[in-house]
Amino acid sequence: MTQLYQDNLAQLYDAAVPDWPGEIDFYRNLAQEDVDEHHSILEIASGTGRVAIKLAQAGFQVVGIDLSQDMLSIARAKSASLKNVTFVQADMRSFDLNRDFALALVPAYSFQLLLTEKAQKTCLEKISKHLIPRARLVLHLERQDPDWLASLPSDSYTPFEASGETTHPHTSQLIRVSYAWSFDQALQSVAVIIRYETIDPSGRVSERVDREPLRMHCTSARRLESLLVRAGFEIEERRSDFASDSAPDASDEMIWIARKRP
Ligand SMILES: C[S@@+](CC[C@H](N)C(=O)[O-])C[C@H]1O[C@@H](n2cnc3c(N)ncnc32)[C@H](O)[C@@H]1O
């Protein structure tokens, strides 16, 4: 068996997913406004700790929850020297940590892994139960273009398209990451197959592995706003990036900042 197949895909995720421009500063600034020494930040679907660990390094108390033991193991190993970050295995639809937080974050489109509006509402209500009154929630989603979605096949996938390159965490070999897409109109969800390829020094692909399709719910701004309000939040702001003040529809990103209603 070769290296990519032996890999835990969580390790490739950890190596391949960069921060969004301005993302960490944005979360840190919100934490500075809202989180005192008596309260903590809750990150939902915290993965390998990409965001949670940086906020802990900035001095905040952080709790991350995630379903995947593989992702949690990496997050715990990366943060072993930090006392102010904890990672808990829990489902974002049904968690109960028995404590309140002053800020909740759902970065990196994780909310869209909940494939029905019912599951999304249940998750928002769970988050709300874990927040002090007026605490903020940030949801970072992808705003899919309806024309692009309509152009995707429903019973097959688009050809793979390269999206970026990274370095393998153990072998230091070049890894190319590509995506192939499909869209299910009835479920309003896209499915993406992520392909990792090892590129040898002559530029040839020496190894390839495709992940199981990952499904993501395509949520429009209008539906998401209504969902947040029904789950007990009021909308403070909707942004299209972390770093500037562009108009809300200026990019494929949807960053919602909401407050728990008292
Ligand atoms: C795109 S990753 C995001 C990781 C991290 N927040 C980041 O920003 O890099 C999505 C994460 O959601 C987790 N996840 C998927 N379904 C979940 C669920 N129902 N409850 C908790 N975590 C879940 C996955 O295990 C994965 O770690």
pLDDT digit of tens for each residue in the chain (262 aa)? 345 555 567 777 887 788 999 999 999 999 999 999 999 999 999 999 999 999 999 999 999 999 999 999 999 999 999 999 999 999 999 999 999 999 999 999 999 999 999 999 999 999 999 999 999 999 999 988 899 999 999 999 999 999 989 888 778 889 999 999 999 999 999 999 999 999 999 999 999 999 889 999 998 999 999 999 999 999 999 999 999 888 888 889 999 999 999 8
> Does 45 sit in the ligand 1 pocket, CB within 6 Å?
yes
CA 132, CA 241: separation in Å to the nearest integer? 26
Q: Rounded to the nearest whole angstrom, what is the distance from the C-alpha of residue 189 to the centroid of ligand 1? A: 17
| Residue 100 within a domain | yes
| Residues 112 and 201 placed together within one structural domain of the fold | no
The token pair at 178 is: 């590509």
| Residue 59 within a domain | yes
Q: Rounded to the nearest whole angstrom, what is the distance from the C-alpha of residue 76 to the centroid of ligand 1? A: 15
| Residues 33 and 99 placed together within one structural domain of the fold | yes
Closest to 219 in 3D by CA, of 149, 170, 127: 149
> Does 110 sit in the ligand 1 pocket, CB within 6 Å?
yes
| Residues 151 and 39 placed together within one structural domain of the fold | no
Domain count, the chain: 2
| Residue 4 within a domain | no
| Residues 155 and 127 placed together within one structural domain of the fold | no
CA 57, CA 81: separation in Å to the nearest integer? 10
- CA distances from residue 52 to 3, 16, 189, 238, 262 in whole angstroms, order as listed: 29, 17, 27, 22, 26
Q: Rounded to the nearest whole angstrom, what is the distance from the C-alpha of residue 200 to the centroid of ligand 1? A: 31
Closest to 85 in 3D by CA, of 43, 37, 45: 43
CA 227, CA 218: separation in Å to the nearest integer? 14
Closest Cα to atom 4 of ligand 1: 47
> Does 64 sit in the ligand 1 pocket, CB within 6 Å?
no
| Residues 76 and 37 placed together within one structural domain of the fold | yes
CA 230, CA 56: separation in Å to the nearest integer? 32
| Residue 78 within a domain | yes
What is the domain range of residue 35? 9-144+218-260
